[in-house]
Each structure stands twice: as C-alpha cells, then as structure tokens.
Structure 1
C-alpha cells in the first residue's frame, strides 16, 4: 500500500461538489396540489395517470371511479397534469358515475383493480363483483363479465392486443381472456394465493406475475402461456409481514428489468433470468423515464430513489404536503407517475384525498443522483434500444 496524501486542489475534496441528500421538510420546498372532490369517497385503492398525461383516474374503496382532467389555457398551455393548475373533477352531462359491480354491498372489503386501454378510451375495472368495461368519455358501462367466484384481483391489457386481458384471480389463477369472443384462452397456475401483480414485456414476450404468497415471482411465455421460471424473494428471516402491501411488479422502460415491490424491500430483477428499509413500504412505481422510483411509506414519507443504483435521492416528509391537523393514520397507499413528466407523481391516501407532487420550478427535479459507488454505473441508464441485459440485480 502506498501512502498518498490528498491534494488540496483535488476536485474530490471540493466541499461544494460533495453530494448531499435532498430533503424536503415544509411546503415552501415543493409544489403540491390537493385535487378537489365534490363526490365524497373512501380510501383511494387504485390510482393512474391517463396515457396522454392530461388526467388522473382513481378507484376508491367504495367502488366509485374519480376522473380529474386538466384544462388547456394560458396558465397550462399543454393541458397536461400539473401541480400549478387545479383540474376539474369530470363527469358527463348525464351525471352517471363509473361504479363497479360489488358483492353483498361491501365494496370496502373487496380487492379493487383496473387497467386503461392504450388510447385512454376504455377502463377495465373490478371491485369484488363482475369485471366492468367503461367508456371513459361517457362513463357508460359497455359490458360486464366473469361474475365471481373467483373474483378478479389484478388486470393487465396485452401490449399488442387490447382484446386480450390477463386477469389475476383470488383463487391464485391467472386467466387469459379474449374480450371480443368472450372466452378464456388459457388458465395459468403457479401461485398459492391471490394474484397481486401482473406486468407484460413486449420485448421479452413474457408476463410476470406476483401473488399474496409474497415470495414467488413467475415468468410466463406469452406465445404458449407456459411458465418459464419462478423465483422466491429474499424476505428477511423473522420479519413479520403486516399485509400492508401485496407484492407488485412493473417493467422498466427497457422492458427487460422488472421492479418488484414488497413492504420489506424494493428490488430490480433481470426478467429474462429472474436474478436478483425503515417503515413498511405501501407502494412504489417507476417515473415515466424509469430513472427514478417513487416509493411511499406507512409514516406518510415519500422517498425518491435513483433507479440505476436504488440509492436514496430525495426524501419528502409528510409536513411538506399534509395539513398540520390531519390524523397520524393518514398515509399514501398508491403512487402514480405522470406518463411524460418524469418529475411529477400523484399520491392516493387512506382518507380519500389525492395529491399531485412536483419539485419547485427553481429546482426542476428531485435532487441529483448520488455518485456511483466504485465508479460503477447501471446499464439501465441507456435508452431502451441500447439497453443490455446484465444478469446482475442492481441492489
């Protein structure tokens, strides 16, 4: 070993260039907007931006859908979702609501799920009863199908064919259903409890599934619907689970790496090989460019991680967006990322409220990425066309 004294002029010793975690502690450090709701709802169970980025759709635990649309005007020339302009809670002239079919009039106890078509024209949704297909312009129910049992617990449109839907069920099966001909094409079995997550990759031609068994991730080939592989998550031994969050899966924009979210961990796997914290995690999602991961926690904190290293980049404390007099039991249960604004996301809370979050205009982003360890960089920072398929889990 050679004893080398650091040079005073060395850039690595310049304190002004030392990375520091961005921490937001009050309302002056970010922009937040509570979305108005003239319709009183219960807990927000599901939340998503429309693919065009001009609206947010929520599904509450009382089986009612809420749709907020942003106006296009002088203050908002793009018409896209923003925390600077209030949207309108949209309803068609008929005044009807998109309300899911329920069983025994107890929607609060049901598993809620929905999926949007690519053109934002239709939403497929379920709240314990039959699956409903709604027209997003008129809110009219186009059709209902698959009365329980079993009940649907997760829905996903096939990326190449909107007539094909993967339906996760509470009996642990996955049904591949063709809406046009009203027929189940395949029934997939690989989990022991209800299905909690489904994600398609149009690059690998696979469907990844997760279940309430918490530890098993399965990969299915979409050509013949055969199971290619499965993997057990590394849940910390002796760690009791609280059923706050079922395991969820989501594909990176490179369509090769898969984000797996469990209350004990956030992990990224190479889906082609399935090779591979604080208060419980309630939900997490990639930003639209897959460079960030937005994660919410049981204590209402929101953490923003660099997706390339899974290192914390920004922490948003509850006091920066929640009223001071709010109950300590109120926290986010679902996070949705804007489809084209990488630094905007929305939170759905247990009290039925929805918040849109953005950094200050002067900051423009949620902190800066932490420096790479030992000079390493992630292969996921490259565009999808240039992405490699390293078999090493990022963290």
Structure 2
C-alpha cells in the first residue's frame, strides 16, 4: 500500500526468478484432518447450548465466554511442566473455573425476550472486571469472585454492544437497540453523552486511542466515526453491500481496530473489508462467492498480520491482513467429529492476545475450541504472491469466494 505503515505483512518482493517460480507453484493450505493442526475442545457446561460471545483475557491465560442463556464460562490455564508460561494453549487442557463460593456469573434476564436479546460483554484491561448484558440490565462483575458489583440501565432500550474507554475503565460506550450510543461513567452513575446517527440497533463499537475516535456500526449497515473529545460525529458512510446478498435481520456488522489504530476491520455476513478511519475509505474487500456460506464472524490476530474468519458451513479461513488474500482453509472435518450434527457451526472467533497463530472458536452447540498450527509448521500457510506488485487488490480464492461488484479499491 505505497509504504503505508499499517501494511505489516512480510510480502516478499517479486524480483528474482526464484520468487517468480514460487508464484507458479503456490497452493492454498487445506486442513481437513485433525492431525494437520492442534485443536482442543474445552471442558463443557451442560447448561450451555450456544456460545454468543468469546474473548481471551488480556493476560492470555484464560478464555471468557457468554452463552445465549446469559451464563458466563471462564477457563483458566495453570503453569505446569507442560505449560511453563501458563498461557492459553491447545496442548494443555484448562480448568472450567468457578470460585469456591460456587457462585454462577449470570446476566439479568428478568422480563426479557430470550429470542430478541443480543448478548454482549467487554473486559477491563486489567482482567478484573467484565461488563455484560443479555437483553436485561447491564451487570458489572468481579471476574475474580464472580460477584455482581452493580447493575444499571434497565431496558428499554436494551444494550446490544459494550466497550470500555481506552483511557478510563470507569467510562464505557454502550450501544443500544434503539440506535443510540450512550457514553456512561459507571463510577458516578452519570450519562456523559448520547450519540445519535444510526437508524437501527448498534452492532459494533471500537475505540482508537491514537486517533481519539469511536467507530460504530449498526444494523442499518452504516459506519460512523465519533470524536471522543466532544462526542461529535466526524464521518458516516453506508457499507457497500453486494446486490446478490443482503444481510439478514439479525446480521451483526462488527468493527475492530488494526494494531496501528488507524485502520479497522469490518465484517458482516457478506464481506470482510478494511477501512481507513479518517475518511472512511474502503481499502480492501473480500466477498464470498454467491454460492458459498455467509460469514459468521472475523477478527484480527493479535499482531494484525492475519484475519481469522468463520463461515456458516463451519469452514474457518485464515487471510493475510495486508491484502485479504487467503492463506489457509480449515475444513470442519479437521475439528468436528463425524457424529456431530451438520447444523453445528462457529458463531464467534477470538484471537490469542500474544500468540499470533492462536485463536478460539465458540460453537452453536455450546462448545469452545482452541486452535494452533502444528509446531513443525508454526503458521497457517502462506498467502499467494502479490500480483503486479499490488498489495491493495482484492483477492479471493475461487474455491472459497470471488470478488464482489465492489472490486479492488485503491487510494
């Protein structure tokens, strides 16, 4: 991307004959057998039937999930001879943790319609607190004891997305199902601002501590950029949607900042896209071909070199974030036993906070799996060579997807 600092991928220059030969023999890495990668299904809670939200703790030694029935699950890894750093890994099983009190961390669901509720949560930087909601009041939990510190903002409207302010854990952005965004100080129980610009419920929020902005996405397919100094809207743009596929009523457009805090990833059922923040310009886009399954979720790896995406047919795709070119495809046969129903699929993906090749899937049957490449490989394949030296073109592998009507968008 013409020297952009955010293009952090190690794309080899196509100068020598050797690199030219490589381009002719490049082959997509396909993983179809359990022996071709390392995966671990975590201990399960029989009361949980669907994983709605999933995140690694910032320390990297635990995974937190929010199930569709408002129950939180926490898995912790311990230091051991097999796991000297105590980080989350697919090689050593963790403990499904509960405090000695036996208390269950469950959201308020009084008076809510289970089918309409949108589960959401956010974790504080020090891993001590989680704010969470499942259609009812927002709860602030102590993650060490599972105790409820406070509940606030009973619906209507109900919270649909939660995000901590990057500079102050007492301040949070709360996306609502009535299309507003509330900036709230939980310590003094005060609403700082109400942001209005969307026409449907809020589906995603992401702060940039470099640009001092908040990016929001909505079920109206709109992206908005808000200045965090005065909470005024700076830019707004509707997502370009392929004519042959429109998001369903429950499709959640999500946003996540790149490590450089200048660009962000947009994902919905119909596409992956990377945007420049200040002008809301789409730089790259990947659209599944018309016959392929919709995207269910996607996330950057911790170093923003990769994008992990899950599809409704249980395929997991690993892209190079530099150009959204496919590096690796993990087929369901690699991690789902043949006895598992074909209706089981990933709903959410979480990236390991310190291992770029580590990620976890939350499944529609309540299962959570952790993935890593084989130690001998140490990566999820390699992207195809960049054609004509252009890193900004949209790429799609024919067997997975093809570029949509919005083709490569360049500066």
Q: 1:247 to 1:95 in 2, by over 3 A?
A: same
More divergent stretch after superposition (257-266 vs 11-20):
11-20
| Number of the residue aligned with 2:174 | 167
Name the structure 2 match of 1:235: 241
In the alignment, is the contact (CA less than 8 A) between 1:292 and 1:305 conserved in 2?
yes
Alignment match, 1:99: 106
- Cα drift, residue 236 of structure 1: 1.1
Once residues 384 and 170 of structure 2 are traced to their aligned partners in structure 1, the CA distance between those partners, rounded to angstroms, is 43
**CA deviation after TM superposition for structure 1 residue 242, in Å:** 2.8
Stretches of structure 1 lacking an aligned partner (at least 5 in a row): 1-8, 379-391
Q: Deviations over 1:73-120 (max 9, x none)?
A: 000001000000000000000000110001336545411000000000
Counterpart of 2:33 in structure 1 is: 26
**Counterparts of 2:244 and 2:35, CA distance in 1:** 41
Q: How many angstroms does 1:21 deviate by?
A: 1.0
Q: TM-score, normalised by structure 1?
A: 0.91
Tell me the SS of whatever aligns to 1:162.
Answer: strand
Quote the residue 2:367 is aligned against: 353
Query: Shift in Å at residue 177 of structure 1?
Result: 0.2
1:86 aligns with 2:100: no
Matches within 5 A, 1:154-303: 154-213=161-220, 215-243=221-249, 245-276=251-282, 277=288, 278-303=292-317
For residues 335 and 147 of structure 1, the distance between their equivalents in structure 2, rounded to whole angstroms, comes to: 29
Aligned partner of residue 163 in structure 1, secondary structure: strand
- Secondary structure of 2:35 counterpart: helix
Aligned counterpart, 1:363: 377
Aligned partner of residue 319 in structure 1, secondary structure:
helix
User: Would you say the 8 A contact 2:112–2:135 is kept in 1?
Assistant: no
For the aligned residue pairs, the C-alpha RMSD in angstroms reads 1.7
- Report the counterpart of residue 61 of structure 2 in structure 1: 54
Gaps of 5+ in 2: 1-15, 283-287, 393-407
- How far 1:291 sits from its partner (Å)? 0.3
Give the Cα–Cα distance (whole angstroms) in 1 for the partners of residues 110 and 141 of structure 2.
19
2:144 aligns with 137
Normalization by structure 2: what TM-score? 0.88
Structure 2 counterpart of 1:372: 386
Q: Quick check: 1:153–1:170 contact (8 Å CA) kept in 2?
A: yes
| Residues matched between the structures, number | 373
**1:327 aligned residue:** 341
Contact preservation (8 Å) 1:270, 1:393: no
